[in-house]
Amino acid sequence: MRILLLGPPGGGKGTQSKLLVEKLNIPQISTGDILREHVKKQTDLGKKASNFMEKGELVPDKLILQMMGKRLLENDCLKGYILDGFPRTIPQAIGLDDLLIDLNQKLNKVIVLEVRDNDIVERMGGRRVHLASGRVYHIKFNPPKIEGMDDITKEKLVIRKDDQKDTVLKRLDIYHSTTKPLIDFYSKRNIVSNIDGSKDINAINENIIRNLTNV
């Protein structure tokens, strides 16, 4: 099964993807996580992307499509995948269509997580992440077992640089102007399910799973 999780920054895409990985046994492909890994390793792509990411702007489509063209060829993608954070522009969605034609695959479902902007700002203020694994916590809504530490590795959790309030507001603007039009783009294919992303994490997950049956 090939699923796309669409939603605002901080809308819970990463949180829900991690739960789906466990239940569906298919990989999460998060463009944000892949890019952060490139930035950490200071690769050519990482050097080009870091400036855009810190400012809360989108990395150019061409770079993202090159990166995803390689990622979707990897063996773990043969049984399906969860796309988290890609595509997020119309040119990226058209590029994904081209990649899927080459791979003789199709997207089965687009899950749209709906969360109000005010809730997003609160969520981002309390987010803590384990950068190496992409595991995500919230100091109030989804706290780690030991404060400030990743549950599995016990390594230190950090605040993402792009979680500053001004940057979050800019990312939200870009979501509304540039990414939200993808909902119409995919609605024409009758593969979109809108999910209330303001509920608690497990309730949202159950709702997503319900929407994936019969796909």
Catalytic positions: 13, 88, 127, 160, 171
Taking the least distance from each CB to ligand AP5, the nearer of 44 and 190 is 44
Pick the binder of ligand AP5 from 142, 178, 193, 207 (CB under 6 A): 142
Which residues touch 121 (CB under 8 Å, ≥6 apart)? Answer: 165, 168, 169
- CA atoms of 208 and 108, how far apart (whole Å): 13
Mask: binding to ligand AP5, 10-29, rule CB under 6 A, as x and -? Answer: xxxxxx--------------
Would you tell me how many other CB atoms lie within 10 Å of the CB of residue 5?
26
144 lies in the site for ligand AP5, by CB under 6 A = no
6 lies in the site for ligand AP5, by CB under 6 A = no
Mask: binding to ligand AP5, 32-71, rule CB under 6 A, as x and -? Answer: x--x----------------xx--xxxx----x-------
- CA atoms of 76 and 207, how far apart (whole Å): 26
- Which residue's Cβ has the minimum distance to ligand AP5? 32
In the region spanning residues 160 to 179, those forming contacts with ligand AP5, defined by CB under 6 A, are: 162, 171
Which residues touch 204 (CB under 8 Å, ≥6 apart)? Answer: 12, 16, 113, 195, 196, 197
Residue 138 near residue 128 (C-beta atoms within 8 A): yes
As measured in angstroms, the least distance from the Cβ of 61 to ligand AP5 is 7
In the region spanning residues 79 to 118, those forming contacts with ligand AP5, defined by CB under 6 A, are: 85-86, 88, 92
